Amino acid sequence: MDHPIEHFCCQNPDCRDRGVRGQGNLLFCGWSGEGKRIRMIYCRTCKARFSERKGTVLSQSRLADEKAVSLLEHIRDGCGTRATARLLGVDKNTVTRYIKLAGAHAQPLHDEFVAFSPSDAGGAVRREMELRRQETRPL
Amino acid sequence: MQFDEKWSFVGKKQDHCDPGDPLDLLKGDDWSHIAIDPEHRLLISLVPGKRTGENCEKLVEDTKRRTGGRTDLLITSDEHSPYTPAIEKAYAREVPRPKKPGPGRRPKPDRVMPEDLCYATVCKTRKHGRVVEVVRAVVFGTAARLAAMLKRSTVSKTVNTAFVERANGTERGMNARTTRKTYCFSKQWEFHNAAAYLIGFSYNFCWPVRTLRVPTGDGCRSRRPRLDNA
């Protein structure tokens, strides 16, 4: 799936626009990879050039996108490492490498996105449900 | 908020580890400490590691940080003892005591728990693998406060840990390394923890929870704990 340029941000740690989206400092500049499928991005601020996959699990990936995503979906759905390797026709070390990569990305994403505010009733959509009566003992 | 720990192992089970073998230091039981919000089924915090008080403290601290330090919570867990001091350490505030007249140093401040925080435990007694007795106890807070919290809850009418246990079961189904009665297990900690974080993230962002679905005019709309609730 091709994302628009507004979804990307500069990945250069020395750039003053690092991590900020929609600044207008990025533009697509060419292609890379086997079959020239991966877009390259140029940052006007720091004049760095990097792949659109940088900062993702697919960065430096030698597998096709569909296969890499499928590998993680197999793992996520309870398929073991060796079974995933057999089903996708890859080496089991490839599977474990992707698990490690994905875990390394999942942890900071969890830290960034998951926060819960219990008093904020407006933020959460509470479902209405019929409760079964539960037997309780007096405290 | 519900706290629990989920058992798994890396390399070999703890009883099979030799304390004198340095290679076995990197093997043994692993306990993923989990905090979950029962109303939204949101996995709030995940701390993999040994079943120690330190990891319980990490879990409680992390939960407090992610909830913005709010104290109007109903926290439930099983009777794992380190949770009580961990919750007290995280949430108690110090109230200075007046100094008595005369010589001597100022007395140590009192540690007072917030009035609106409620912590209750569930102790299950089993006989031949069946639960025969459930004892619920309030550790912090009052029975009146607990009743008010339960009245406010949209999913519970009693103190329970059912939601975190259900999430543990779901996670065991999603992660082959923690599935019971199979030959799958992790051989190294780093891969085990990576898989735990990957599955935790997948549960929050990609897993449509059946009981969260909302009826619409032409069927049901599925929802995921993090992506569709916030």
E strand or H helix at B8: strand B2-10
Q: What is the 3-state secondary structure (H, E, C) of A85-112?
A: HHHHCCCHHHHHHHHHHHHHHHHHHHHH
B230 and A107 within 8 Å at the Cβ level: the answer is no
> B134-150 pLDDT, tens per residue?
999 999 999 999 999 99
Q: Does B135 touch chain A (CB under 8 A)?
A: yes
Whether A128 and B154 have beta carbons less than 8 Å apart is answered as yes
| Mean pLDDT computed over A107-131 | 61
Tell me which chain A residues have a C-beta less than 8 angstroms from the C-beta of B199: 76
Which residues of A lie closer than 8 Å to B, measured between beta carbons? 72, 75-81, 83, 96, 99-104, 106-107, 109-110, 113-119, 123-129, 131, 133-134, 136-137, 139
pTM of the entire structure? 0.87
Say if residue A15's pLDDT is above 50.
yes
Most confident option among A6-10, A47-51, A81-85, B205-209 = A81-85
Residue A114, CA atoms < 13 Å, CB-side half-sphere? 29
ipTM entry: 0.89
Closest CA to B147 of B177, B171, B120, B173: B120
Provide the shortest C-alpha distance from residue B184 to chain A (in Å): 7
Provide the token pair at B159: 């103190």
Provide the shortest C-alpha distance from residue A16 to chain B (in Å): 28
- Which of B40, B198, B220, B228 to substitute to test the interface with A, most A CBs within 10 Å? B198
Question: Following CA atoms B18, B21, B24, B26 in sequence, which dihedral angle do they give, to the nearest 10 degrees?
Answer: 140
Residue B27, CA atoms < 13 Å, CB-side half-sphere? 17
Q: Which residue of B has its CA nearest to A115?
A: B66
Predicted confidence at residue A11, as pLDDT, reads: 86
> B39-65 pLDDT, tens per residue?
889 999 999 999 999 999 999 999 999
Provide the shortest C-alpha distance from residue A58 to chain B (in Å): 15
| Mean pLDDT computed over A13-19 | 89
